[in-house]
Amino acid sequence: MKILGFNFTKVQVEKFKDRVENLKIGTRIDVSNILSTKADMLKTREEILAVKFTFGLDYEPELAKIDLEGNIVLSLEPKMAKEVLKEWKGKQMPSEFRQTLFNIIMRKAGLRAIQLEEEMNLPIHFQLPTLKIQEKKD
């Protein structure tokens, strides 16, 4: 699977409060549509699928909310593309495809969310690595 295109169609962040105790951050990923598409400028034997998605972060209790929507254009082997489209009729996805797709969404949307979190002075939605000084042992 190759990423041919990725773009956001909606970027929204709302901050309701400045501080909150017992903060919990929930992540949402939703795929609203998968369809076969054509790319006249590309000469490939692979099938091209367009995926519409939503990525959201909810800062509870009612601190903030980040919503990102977008599109991904993917190139897949014809057999995999056929399987994805067949399962999508029932709003399902093959597990291997779903895992790869969600990882793409989390990586791309997660980076944009970090940028928004920084701009809005919100806590980052995952634990960043930190350095600790080790005490010397004699």
Residue-wise pLDDT tens digits, 97-136: 999 999 999 999 999 999 999 999 998 888 878 888 888 8
Domain presence at residue 129: no
Domain presence at residue 115: yes
Listed in sequence order, the residues at least 6 apart from 77 whose beta carbon sits closer than 8 Å to its beta carbon are: 46, 47
Better pLDDT: 126 or 76: 76
Confidence of residue 40 (pLDDT cuts 50, 70, 90): low
Confidence of residue 2 (pLDDT cuts 50, 70, 90): very high
Domain presence at residue 50: yes
Cβ atoms of 92 and 38 closer than 8 Å: no
Find residue 84's DSSP bridge partners. none
Domain presence at residue 25: yes
For residue 47, give its domain range: 2-119
Domain presence at residue 40: yes
The whole-number pLDDT of residue 130 equals 84
What value does the mean pLDDT take over residues 71-85? Answer: 94
Domain presence at residue 135: no
Domain presence at residue 127: no
- Mean pLDDT, the chain, rounded, equals 91
The number of beta carbons lying within 10 Å of the beta carbon of residue 85 is 15
Tell me which of 18-32, 56-70, 119-133 is least confident: 119-133
Query: How many domains are contained in the chain?
Result: 1
The whole-model pTM stands at 0.85
Nearest to 3 by CA among 59, 60, 48, 66: 48
d(CA 81, CA 59): 36
